Structure 1
């Protein structure tokens, strides 16, 4: 999986997804796929309880995705000067409802 880097604890996504509730996994996977599809310069950092998506090796993150029991929390950062936006997505919702917000953050982050 080219372009995917894990810093620190060296966990991979296969290991991480074992802790995601099975009812939330399809939503989490679709968010992950969407973030990775934004460009060849997207870097995925698997952390203990969440996955952070960054733009290139400059490591400016644009999406911090954390699974919950009934959905996913995404923290969106468009720039260091703007406040972080927090989105809660329930497992019944579709990532496409929030795709523009994530894509805008990816495009704006430097």
Structure 2
């Protein structure tokens, strides 16, 4: 294996392949919502998916996929540490969307 092969980026498909079907569906629903907001940039990293706003690259949320759940870190205030939410059910998404909107507006 060459150095270039080791440094290849993980893709969204790689993250999705590791998730159970309910967690995969939640991730895709959240992703669709976040990417519908103006000027959002998505960055796929080895252990998480990061969302930032515009060219200033202010991260307002990241998602850590974990088998049958998602760990979502949302930064709703600039000086406060991010809130961490563990999503296990699609029923939790409506409350999460409000938090995402608030974090996006403060980014």
Shorter-chain TM range is 0.7 to 0.9
Distance 1:17 1:69, change over 3 A: closer
Distance 1:94 1:80, change over 3 A: closer
CA contact (8 A) 1:78 1:104 kept: yes
CA distance in 2, matches of 1:100, 1:57: 23
| Alignment match, 1:16 | 15
CA distance in 1, matches of 2:17, 2:73: 22
Question: Which one has the largest radius of gyration?
Answer: 2
CA distance in 2, matches of 1:85, 1:94: 15
| Alignment match, 2:87 | 89
CA distance in 2, matches of 1:9, 1:95: 32
Paired positions, count: 101
More helix by proportion, 1 or 2?
2
| Alignment match, 2:47 | 49
CA distance in 2, matches of 1:74, 1:10: 21
TM-score (norm 1): 0.79
TM-score (norm 2): 0.81
CA distance in 1, matches of 2:49, 2:103: 16
Distance 1:97 1:78, change over 3 A: closer
Q: Which runs of 5+ in 2 are unaligned?
A: 1-6
